[in-house]
């Protein structure tokens, strides 16, 4: 069994793509995953699977499509990959309200994209991750999932620093 932290993109946001966590856990257990846990309502899952990442993500995506009628992107990382992402964060983490991790569904080779009016916000693209540091706060930043998806031709989902650490803690 491999342990994964799985991220669903865009569920339970502003009343759209509603998926109750209890029903999601039931679905994942019925799909054969083990030790399924969810954290908050925004699509954070810890589970164990006998399958690799790609098959695990596809199985979850298809299960959500069948049960809830929603086409939800699914991104997974192993625990070592999760720890590596945390260790590689290149910006200060003293103010966790402006620190975030953008998970990409595949590796990219670009290291820079054009971002207009990004103020003092910073980003670093690293393979299948983008690290962001938003001095102006997330409400005002131009560094969004949509921007990275459009510029890098990927699917992306973002989590803040506190969520990243909590998911690692829950995975133990």
pLDDT, tens digit, 9 for 90 and up, residues 115-130: 887 778 899 999 999 9
**150 confidence band (pLDDT: 50, 70, 90):** very high
Residue 105 and residue 66 in one domain: no
Domain that includes residue 154, residue range: 83-170
**42 confidence band (pLDDT: 50, 70, 90):** confident
Q: What is the pTM of this model?
A: 0.94
**107 confidence band (pLDDT: 50, 70, 90):** very high
Q: Average of pLDDT values for 13-32?
A: 91
Residue 88 and residue 157 in one domain: yes
Residue 68 and residue 88 in one domain: no
Distances (CA, A) of 131 to 22, 45, 138: 31, 21, 13
Residue 72 and residue 105 in one domain: no
Residue 124 and residue 90 in one domain: yes
């Amino acid at each position: 069994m491999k342990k994964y932290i799985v991220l669903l993109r865009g569920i339970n946001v502003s009343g759209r793509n509603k998926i109750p966590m209890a029903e999601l856990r039931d679905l994942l257990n019925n799909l054969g995953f083990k030790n399924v846990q969810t954290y908050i309502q925004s699509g954070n899952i810890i589970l164990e699977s006998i399958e690799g990442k790609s098959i695990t993500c596809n199985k979850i995506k298809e299960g959500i499509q069948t049960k809830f009628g929603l086409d939800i992107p699914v991104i997974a990382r192993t625990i070592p990959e999760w720890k590596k992402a945390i260790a590689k964060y290149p910006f200060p983490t003293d103010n966790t309200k402006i620190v975030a991790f953008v998970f990409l569904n595949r590796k990219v080779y670009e290291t820079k994209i054009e971002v207009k009016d990004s103020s003092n916000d910073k980003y670093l693209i690293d393979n299948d991750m983008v690290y962001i540091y938003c001095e102006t706060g997330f409400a005002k930043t131009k560094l969004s999932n949509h921007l990275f998806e459009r510029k890098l031709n990927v699917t992306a989902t973002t989590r803040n620093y506190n969520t990243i650490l909590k998911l690692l803690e829950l995975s133990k």
